[in-house]
Structure formats: structure tokens, C-alpha cells
Amino acid sequence: MNTKINIAGVEFKNPVMVASGTFGSGQEYGEFVDLNKLGAVVTKGVADKPWPGNPVPRVAETASGMLNAIGLQNPGIDVFIERDLPFLQKYDTRIIVNVCGHSEEEYLNVVDRLSDEKVDMLEINVSCPNVKEGGIAFGTRPDALYNITSEIKKHAKQPVIMKLSPNVTDIAEMARAAENAGADAISLINTITGMKIDINKRKFVLANKTGGLSGPAIKPVAVRMVYQCAQAVKIPIIGMGGIATGEDAIEFMLAGATGVAVGMMNFHDPYATAKVVDGIEKYMQDQKLDDIGEIIGAVHE
């Protein structure tokens, strides 16, 4: 039974990854999950300098999900290269570094610093606010997405995954913009903007007022967007958004995803990723499938 996938020339032992921001940089979950079992570890967002994140409270439970307004808190590229990367390199798993920034220059600084490091792929978080454009996220306008993607591709030594925001009118248009600019793959969906209010205190639950909604509540939206993008572009797709079981992962792959990422469920069950790997293998056995490629995009019209 072959569970290997290939994304932009990079081979993964299986399609299961972790969604950025839900798994730290691997050390935090190392005592629960054998990282060797995963197709890839996708790191928390890495910026060119330390980011403090948003004020607390910044996490809240919701029905079948959670809201977070962490604000991409991270210690910066220097600490990542010195502390986190050597840890990950000890394991037999692909390393995908999520890159964030407030300006094109900040993104490129991180991409350049990683050019000589043993990193398999870069995932670019375009949900960051572009400070030079009044705080509009890079990933909410096709022209802005095209520009940042094309500039990063000029600098990157590793294949580039553009992580798309669902907070747009036409996700397929965004996928095409990324592909036309040279992206090697896309990943989606990032969180959906949401809000929660405490009716007794009559106050916002999150200090930031709004946060990103993730978890099983958003899965139907995510599957639909992955399917739409799979119809619109030829580059590989990494699907995410509410994956909790092997069955969930298979649904994304049938919709057109080559790889899948487990996010919020890591908080609910630190063993979730390993269970998803096992679930995919069980499905393949039950369906008598020899190659996982037979699943990708195989939903019947």
C-alpha cells in the first residue's frame, strides 16, 4: 500500500501534515506524537524579528471549534534557526516553514535567511496585514497576492506554497493569481473571521474583538473551497479546515487535495495527527486501494 505523495517535486511518506500555528515547531508535541510518522511538520509562522502577538484574552471556544486572535506571536527567524530547526532536522519528516510579515521586505528577509537551510518547502501566510496598504491582508486581493508571490519566487530556493485566506469573494480567482505568479502549490483554508460576545458582561470575549474561526465547524466551507480551487488550477493543493479523522482527510482528498493538514484538533487531542494517518491507511485497506493517488480528485460528478 503506497501512501506517498509528491508536491512540487518533494516526496512525502504520507499526506498528513499539521496546520501552522497549531503544533508549535514540533517540540511541543514531540512527547505525544512520533514526528517520524507524519508526512510533514509545518511550523508556526516565522517573522524576521520577534512578534509579541495580540493582548489577552485571545482564545475562545465555540460550537465545534475555536476562535483565536494570537496575532502570529513568534520569537523570530534567529531563534527559529538556532533552536527549532535543529530539533526538526533530527526526524524523518519533511519540514515546511510558515513565513509571515507585515511588508514585502519582511517576507523576503525570512525567505533569504532560509535559502541555505535544510528546509523542504516554504508556506507563505498571506493573511498578514500589509502595513503599507492600510492593514489590508496580502491574501484578500488578487493583485496583491500575485505581487507578493512573484517577489517571493524570485528569492526562494525551496518550493513555495501560498496559504490562501477564505475571507474573499472568489477563492478560485485567488488560487489562479497564486498559480500565475509562479506558486508551486497552495494551501487552504486559513481561518474564517469570527466574533464572540459575552452576553452577561456585554463585552467581546476576545481582546481583539474578532478572531479566526477554526475546527470542525468550518469543514464544509473548506471542502467546498478546496474543490473549487482544484477545478481552477493545476498546481497541488494542501487542504485543511476542521480535519479530525481519517474520513475527514479522505473527503478533502476526494475534493482534490494532494495533502492535508490537521489544525485545531491538535489542541483537542494531541494524538490527532497520528490517528488521521491510521485512519487513511484503514480506508485504503477497506477500499482495497493500492495507491493513495487513486483518491485525489476522485469525487464523482
Binding-site annotation, residues for substrate:
44, 68-72, 125, 190-191
Is 100 catalytic? The answer is: no
> CB within 8 A of 127, min separation 6: which ones?
137, 138, 139, 163, 165, 167, 190, 191
> Which of left, alpha, beta for 140 (phi over 0: left; psi -120 to 50: alpha)?
alpha
What is the chain's percent helix, strand, coil content, to nearest 5?
35, 25, 40
Q: Indicate the SS3 state at residue 91.
A: coil
> CB within 8 A of 148, min separation 6: which ones?
104, 107, 124, 126, 138
C-alpha to C-alpha distance for 138 and 268, rounded to whole angstroms: 30
Identified catalytic residue from 18, 128, 181, 185: 128
Q: What is the DSSP letter of 81?
A: I
Whether the CB-CB separation of 219 and 241 falls below 8 Å is answered with yes
Residue 194: CA atoms inside 13 Å, Cβ hemisphere, count? 22
Q: Which residues are catalytic?
A: 128
